[in-house]
Amino acid sequence: MRSLWKDRIPFVLLFAIKTSVELFQEKLSQTKIQHLQGAQFEVAHLDIHSIFQATMASNSRRSFWLGPGLSSLILQAQQDSIQSIASFIKSLQYAHMTFFFANPLSILLADSIANEQLQDEIYQCIRNLESFRLFAERLLEQDNVDKTRRILNDNTCLHVEVIKGIRRGKETLDTLIGAVECLHSMQADLGLKTTESWSALYIKAMAGELQDSASVRDTLLAIRKLPSDAMASLLDSLGDSIPELTTLNEELRKMVSTTGGTVPLRSEHDTKHESLRTTIVAQKVELSKHSSSLSKQDLAYSKLVNRVNGVLRDYLHQSLVNPQELFLREVLIFDLKSPHRDVFLPKPRYAIERALASPRDYLGCGCCTGAQYGLSASHPATSILYQLYLESGAIVNISDLWSAFYTILGTENADDEDAEQERVLAVFSRALAELKYMGMVKSSRKKADHLAKVLWNGL
């Protein structure tokens, strides 16, 4: 089978050579150099995080979001095997297309849908969701038994709750993405040593792991140490997203104007207000931190910094909720990895084994359609030998393999048996060579007339 496609599938080997062209030529002989075709090119930097951010950023027209599992799969696949920008965009487009084709509940995201337009099966699917079960349990915990009974038995009542849940879920997720953008912007302005990409923050937020993460704590701690000039630029960038900071920004500007603005104000949390004091007690050296006294302006600025820190902490805590606890999260968040994995993460070994075991699925010819199961002389020779290969043990006798192969492919009562055996033997040798080429068998060191199996089906 390999010989049928050898002249149609081009193979390109790409080597990363970390040396100069002159030194590389010295290492190779002239005969080998004549067979090489080299080309100099530069690898373009692919910023997949910017593309992912532009795709998943906050948008009023967005109807659903990618889940943490699928997002990690798409980004990890891009890092493991570097692809072009077009391939990465196609993977994101395929994820959006799969959501509408593989999720019948996506009809609930329509702008306006009446109760009569939904089938009874749609309501049964909703009642089987895990988020619906959690929603019903919360109603029972609130002693709201009547409402729980109505949404279980009345489709009209359930339709009302679904419309409310979709609207609230979209608002919650849109606020969450806005908080992710604010956190990423703050980390970029602060210049922290350890910053995370927007994609990493998005995945953590969608998994419900960002609210109490180290990224939030480190960012808030760094904000408490900012001088007044850096704090002013930070408040300017966040004023549109968090309106409460606009008032604090005006107070900061008035405070800086009263001091003249020549030297920036520093808070009590700034490390420049701390100094190390060395004392010797009982012939032992002890180090202790000593805080210098603050001026009235610095004390006032410290109180303002604490208020800013409190506003940001409350905003992030209220916005970075756990999306996995939302009602109808299965409709709003698409996190099904199997369709994307089957298309963009190929399994060549599985495909080869399936092609050899079921050649009818790939050839589509009439001779193989009738013989769907078992061995048949109409199958390709390599496929027949592969079926016999699966039925054998770890060590295969070539003579037994040949006898079984000839029984299937040979012609009974042939006029010239010697010519028939030569014909089948040539086909057998070719099929066996292809199995060796694919790395399934090798010559046994223990017995010269035996073969050793290298691969087992499914392992």
Look at residue 271 and tell me whether its pLDDT is greater than 70.
no
Look at residue 459 and tell me whether its pLDDT is greater than 60.
no
What's this model's pTM, rounded to 2 decimal places? 0.69
Select from 399, 406, 401 the least CA-distant residue to 435: 401
Cα dihedral 329, 332, 333, 337 sign:
positive
Three-state DSSP class for residue 199: helix
Q: Please check whether residue 297 is in contact with residue 257, taking contact to mean a CB–CB distance below 8 angstroms.
A: no
User: How large a percentage of the chain has pLDDT more than 90?
Assistant: 11
Look at residue 5 and tell me whether its pLDDT is greater than 70.
no
Cα–Cα separations (whole angstroms), residue 291 to 188, 220, 280, 281: 29, 21, 19, 21
Which pair of tokens denotes residue 318? 């209220």
Ranking 14-28, 107-121, 429-443 by mean pLDDT, the lowest is: 14-28
Look at residue 277 and tell me whether its pLDDT is greater than 70.
no
Average pLDDT over residues 266-282: 61
Higher pLDDT, 145 or 342: 145
Higher pLDDT, 322 or 447: 322
Look at residue 345 and tell me whether its pLDDT is greater than 60.
yes
Task: Specify the residue for token string 């060549």.
Answer: 348
Neighbours of 48 (CB within 10 A): 20
Q: Supply the pLDDT for residue 9.
A: 63
Across the beta sheet with 450-453, the strand order is: 395-397, 450-453, 441-443
Output the CA angle 51-57-61, nearest 5 degrees.
120
Residue 135: pLDDT band (50, 70, 90) is very high
User: How large a percentage of the chain has pLDDT more than 70?
Assistant: 82
Higher pLDDT, 106 or 280: 106
Look at residue 376 and tell me whether its pLDDT is greater than 70.
yes
Q: What is the mean pLDDT of the chain?
A: 80
Residue-wise pLDDT tens digits, 185-228: 888 888 777 788 889 999 999 998 888 888 889 888 888 888 88
| Residues across the chain | 459
Average pLDDT over residues 423-431: 89
Residue-wise pLDDT tens digits, 90-132: 888 888 888 888 788 888 888 777 777 788 888 899 999 999 9
Residue-wise pLDDT tens digits, 71-87: 888 888 877 766 677 88
Q: Please check whether residue 441 is in contact with residue 452, taking contact to mean a CB–CB distance below 8 angstroms.
A: yes
Look at residue 428 and tell me whether its pLDDT is greater than 80.
yes
| Range 186-195 contact pairs with CB under 8 angstroms and sequence separation of 24 or more | 186/219, 186/223, 186/234, 186/238, 186/312, 187/215, 187/219, 189/230, 189/233, 189/234, 189/237, 190/219, 190/222, 190/223, 190/226, 190/234, 192/218, 192/219, 192/222, 194/218
Residue 314: pLDDT band (50, 70, 90) is very high
Q: Please check whether residue 301 is in contact with residue 313, taking contact to mean a CB–CB distance below 8 angstroms.
A: no
Look at residue 290 and tell me whether its pLDDT is greater than 60.
no
Residue 140: pLDDT band (50, 70, 90) is very high
Residue 31: pLDDT band (50, 70, 90) is confident
Give the amino acid at 400: D
Residue-wise pLDDT tens digits, 223-260: 888 888 888 888 888 878 888 888 888 888 888 888 76
Q: Supply the pLDDT for residue 205.
A: 92
